[in-house]
Amino acid sequence: MVIHLSKIDDLDLKILSELSNDAAVSVPKLSKKININASVVYSRIKRLVRRGFIKKFTIVINDEALGFSVKALTGINMDSKLRDNVLNELFKIPEVREISEVTGRFDILVTMNSHSLDEMHQLISERIGRIEGVQKTETFIEMRKTVREMLFPSSKVK
């Protein structure tokens, strides 16, 4: 689906910005915060969903609270003939959160979480390293992460 920014206005951008910070906010609370009638906010949200600007409403899980204190990005070079096998096998590993096919020195980047460095070592050397088609890996352990809040410009982008 191709999305054209010309179909949204400043109010839509304001709603998107607020929902990206807290998707669980009630429509009455959101309407009060942005000073717009609740029925207008509700219809705008429905329209943003219908037109594909909002894919889904979700939560952000606190991985550390669940004991996943180590996060890593692993760059993988693979045999392109075995691409499907590599992707399928990676998704069988519960600790794998995301797989991105990328340009550059790696074929894919894998984001994963583990409880400890030892567990991460096991994942990389014994699980990922043994997948047929994986040729080489390089892992980057996340030391600290700074996340920027999703901000949208106050006037629509053309």
- Tens of pLDDT along 7-60? 789 999 999 989 988 999 999 999 999 999 999 999 999 999 999 999 999 888
Buried-state track 92-129, b at ≥16 Cβ within 10 A, e below 16: eeebbeebeeeeeebbbbbebbbeeeeebeebbeebbe
How high is the pLDDT of residue 148?
Answer: 78
Rounded to two decimals, the pTM is 0.75
How high is the pLDDT of residue 151?
Answer: 66
Mean of all residue pLDDT scores within the chain? 90
How high is the pLDDT of residue 7?
Answer: 79
pLDDT at residue 117 greater than cutoff 90: yes
12 and 50 Cβ atoms separated by less than 8 Å = no
Residue with tokens 């410009």: 153
Domains of the chain: 8-50 (1.10.10.10), 64-141 (3.30.70.920)
pLDDT at residue 144 greater than cutoff 70: yes
Provide the strand spans (E) within the chain.
70-78, 96-101, 108-114, 134-141
Q: What is the pLDDT of residues 92-114, one digit of tens each?
A: 999 999 999 999 999 999 999 99
Q: Which pair of structure tokens corresponds to residue 34?
A: 């942005």
